[in-house]
Structures are given as C-alpha cells and as structure tokens.
Structure 1
C-alpha cells in the first residue's frame, strides 16, 4: 500500500467517480510509459474476462481494486509538472462548470431511405436520464436531428460531450448521415476514423445505434474510448429498448461496461434473437461478442 500526497488525496474522490480506463488513458497522455500502458492492458483484459464470464464477481472486484491502487501509485510517483498536467486535463475534460456529463444525441433518418423512430428514441433516452438515482450527474445536450457531417464536427469540438449517441442507418462500409436537404450521405469508415480522431481525450463512450455499426465501433474505439455498435441489422423496437435501458442503468450510477452488460441481459429476456447484436469495443479490442 502507498501513501498519497496531499494533491492526490484532494482529488481522489473525483478521480474515482470517473471510469478507471479514462483515468489510465489520461495518465498515458501526459506520461507515456510501458508500465502505464501495461496497466491499461491489464484493465482491458480484466473487462474481457468479466464479460466472457471467465472470472467471478469477487475476483473481478479484487483485481479492479488492485488496478485502482496501481493507478494511484503511478500518479503519486509523477513529477510535479506531470501531475499538474494530469489534473489540468481532467478538469478541462469536465462538461461545463457543473462537472455534469454531457450526452449528445445525433440522428439521421434521410427522406430517401426507410424512416427510423429517432424522435421516440430520443424521448426514451431523455426519460431514462431524468429518472435515475444519479440523474444530476448527466446533462442531455440539445440534439442534432437530420445531422450533417459538418454540424457534427462543429458541435463535438464545441461541446466536447462525454457521451455521443448516433441513431440512424448503418452499413459495413460506413454510417449514413444527412445532407443539408435531408438526403442520404454515406460517410465511409476510413472517413469516420478521421471524424472521431482524438475523441478519447474527452468522450467516455460512443453509442452507434445503427445496423452493422460494429465495424465502425472497432475503428473508433482505437482512438482511446469505449464504443458500442451493432454487428447485424437491428429492429427499431430492439434498438430503442437498448437505448432506453442502457441510459437508465447509467443514470442509476452504473459504469458503461455494467450498463451494457445488464442491458444485454434484458435484451436476452425480451428480444432474444437480437440480444447478441450489440457489441462493446475499447481501445480496438472487442470486450464481449
């Protein structure tokens, strides 16, 4: 066990409110090292084992505590200027002065393709975020409906949301955005890689609620964030049900990984044939299939 310096003791509560993977990535940003990178790999491996059911909950909790302790140990050893950079980074990454996590909902249902119930999905997400026990930790930002690529790029850089939720059509080659006339525009995966470049510096999770979006989830997650995508066509009812319950679990204080796993359990009970369609990726690695 180690003794934290006064700096770390003052912010430890705030750090532990954040995802451990997010803290580790921030640590790597300010001080890249093999030991810091290996700790992040250990965390990702732990989450992979947890989702596959190859580790018990008790062992999972024990190892996660060890990872937190190692994180604080490495943070404690940083030189003063690196500590200042780290604390500045996590302060800058907060949404506004309230520290609430911003959720940006973007949707595209172009007029020249099958219409999706994006309005209904947004309403369900809004209701879920408003009724959780920790609802004050989240802020649902103004949605971008019939979103164009230009609008999204401007808003994501301006708002720097903690969560980005895309509702729309997808295909293995890319996602379907709108044009200024609300017509279909396919944004290919290699372009999306640039669109989401450096997203991991402030976004905790991206949800791509679109058919075949697992291909894009893998690529985007390599930017250093958690991404959820669908590996096959998904029905509107199942997609909306996923969103509704995922955000309800989040607003009740669960982590992204816990909320994802519990939502998949509900899908298994209510949309059995579509329960394995959602996938979660982190740092380019599939956490559960």
Structure 2
C-alpha cells in the first residue's frame, strides 16, 4: 500500500490558494484510477511543524505532498500555533526529512520558489518535486492532477513527472514556470524498470511485464479450452460412430479412448496455467511491497527477477512430470 500525506498550508495573511480544489482533483484522479486500492490518501489542514512531525511518525507516508507558499529566500511557510505563518528554511526542512528515508520516497513541494536553496542538493534520499519560480495556482493544480493521474495508474514517479510536465508545457508556459524534479539516484533503480526486462540486476521487473504475463497465460487457457472442446467433440462423435457401425467392443473402446485420453494433456496444461496466473499475481503483490521500501539490495532484486522468469519454466516442468 502506497501512502500519500497531502498537507495544505495557507496561513492567516497569505494569499488564498483554494487548496481544496487541488485536493479534490487528486481525490477524483484516485477514484478514477485502475489501482485505487493500492493507495491511501491522507489530508491535513493548517499544519504546524509539530503536527507534521506527528503525522510522519504515525502515518509513515511514502509521498509527502505540501501545497502552500514559499519565497525567493528559500523559505517554506507553515502555520504557527495561532494560525499565522512560520518560516522554515527549505534546506533545513529537507535535512529533517532524511530522518524518514525508511518510507518517504517522494516529496512534492507544490509552492512557489520551493526549490530555491536546494536545486543543487546532492544525494537526497527522496525524489523532490518543486518550483524554482513563482507559479500560477491553476498551473500548480493542473500539474498535480496530471502527476497523480499517471502515478495512480501505474507510472513511476519519474514517468508521472515527465507526463505532467509535458501537459503543462503544452500551455506554452515558460520553462522556469514548470515544476522541476530533483531525482534521487538512490531510487532511480526502482523507478527505471519498464524499458527492458532482466538486463540489469538493479531493476525490478515492471508492472507491465507482470500484467503481460498474466494476459499471456489467460490467452493460453482460452486456446487449451478450445482444444479440449474440439477433442471432446471428436471423442463423442467417434464413440457414436463406433456404436452404430461396429458391433464389437474393441473398435468402440479404441475410437473413444484415444481422443478422450488426449484431452488429458491440454486439460492438465490448462490447470497449470491457472497456477501460473496465481503465482504471477503473488509476484505483483510482492513487487508493490518492494516499492514501499526506500532501497533494495542487488541480491534481492536479482532473486525476485529470477523467480518471476522461472514461473513459465517451472510450469513446463510440472506439466512434464
């Protein structure tokens, strides 16, 4: 389960950003997605640093999304205890988030100038999405909606970012007004897994490959079922023919037993394909569990990939036995 913590920060005295609209767009994208059961979406309003600390400890989000205000000095605004703005240095804030590298894999700072001071940050433990300049609120909402629409439907953080950036760019915005991604080298291994399968030990098999394997097995089941029907029909016709034209039992037995026995082979193969689909589904669940972790060892990734590739091979061995 991938957890998203959506923080709305609009302190007293700051411009009203209508952050509820952004929340609604993201919720609608989640409800319309094919993978909505794989995500938890939590929201918080008027958050202080103390509130955020509690939520990070209790919810343990994978994606921390903060929508609000920032300024050119590299400051993010949070609420103080009375609802007014409290200025937090964005570099210090990112350093604080390193305490949650066990589960936070993406930080989405949907606020103006939110990358000021950290655009040269190196070796961060999470992907960071933010703005180098002031950005219109409508654009920020459009980008967030496009990003989550892609992410909820199976794309990685990097792929979702690139898709959303392309959508915003088509509105002819200046490049400086388009959100930026500071990709974590630490996590690229997990996200860059959809080009080719099995070429690198450092890349997990992709969700698309898992889905394609299930589709292939389902197609095989259809083909085996057709063969069973054809052979069964032949067996029945042969039996009827033998009964009518052969008074002895020998021809009747041979003509019916032959095709009937042949049915056993596609039937057994069909049942093994069903076992294969179940095994592939379990691999898909394990993959999602892997993606919730900040880092996997090369050995874990290599072992997982080998197990997936051997499903078809093991299926054939079981069939032969």
Return the TM-score normalized by structure 1. 0.60
**Correspondence 1:79-228 to 2 at 5 A:** 100-141=1-42, 143-171=43-71, 172-215=73-116, 218=119, 222-228=123-129
Match of 1:233? 134
CA distance in 2, matches of 1:145, 1:230: 21
Change (3 A) 1:162 1:113: same
Gaps of 5+ in 2: 189-321
CA distance in 2, matches of 1:219, 1:270: 27
> Contact (CA 8 Å) 1:250, 1:256: kept in 2 or not?
yes
- In the TM superposition, residue 135 of structure 1 has moved relative to its aligned partner by 1.6
> Contact (CA 8 Å) 1:230, 1:278: kept in 2 or not?
yes
Are positions 1:243 and 2:116 aligned together? no
CA distance in 1, matches of 2:33, 2:172: 23
Q: Deviations over 1:171-210 (max 9, x none)?
A: 2322000112211110113431343123322112110000
Q: Report the 3-state secondary structure (helix = DSSP H, G, I; strand = E; otherwise coil) of the residue aligned with 1:215.
A: coil
CA distance in 2, matches of 1:157, 1:167: 20
Matching residue within 151, 158, 162 for 1:257: 158
Between Structure 1 and Structure 2, whose CA radius of gyration is higher?
2
Q: Report the 3-state secondary structure (helix = DSSP H, G, I; strand = E; otherwise coil) of the residue aligned with 2:101.
A: helix
CA distance in 1, matches of 2:102, 2:59: 13
Q: Deviations over 1:223-273 (max 9, x none)?
A: 411110101000110000011110000011100000000101000112523
> Contact (CA 8 Å) 1:268, 1:275: kept in 2 or not?
no
**Correspondence 1:259-278 to 2 at 5 A:** 259-270=160-171, 272-273=173-174, 277-278=178-179
> Contact (CA 8 Å) 2:33, 2:149: kept in 1 or not?
yes
- In the TM superposition, residue 274 of structure 1 has moved relative to its aligned partner by 5.8
CA distance in 2, matches of 1:126, 1:110: 23
Return the TM-score normalized by structure 2. 0.54
Q: Report the 3-state secondary structure (helix = DSSP H, G, I; strand = E; otherwise coil) of the residue aligned with 1:207.
A: strand
RMSD: 2.2
Match of 1:10? none
Q: Deviations over 1:30-89 (max 9, x none)?
A: xxxxxxxxxxxxxxxxxxxxxxxxxxxxxxxxxxxxxxxxxxxxxxxxxxxxxxxxxxxx
CA distance in 2, matches of 1:187, 1:248: 30
- In the TM superposition, residue 276 of structure 1 has moved relative to its aligned partner by 5.1
> Contact (CA 8 Å) 2:133, 2:176: kept in 1 or not?
no
Match of 2:279? none
User: How many residue pairs are counted as aligned between the two chains?
Assistant: 186
Q: Report the 3-state secondary structure (helix = DSSP H, G, I; strand = E; otherwise coil) of the residue aligned with 1:158.
A: helix
Are positions 1:279 and 2:180 aligned together? yes
CA distance in 1, matches of 2:29, 2:70: 25
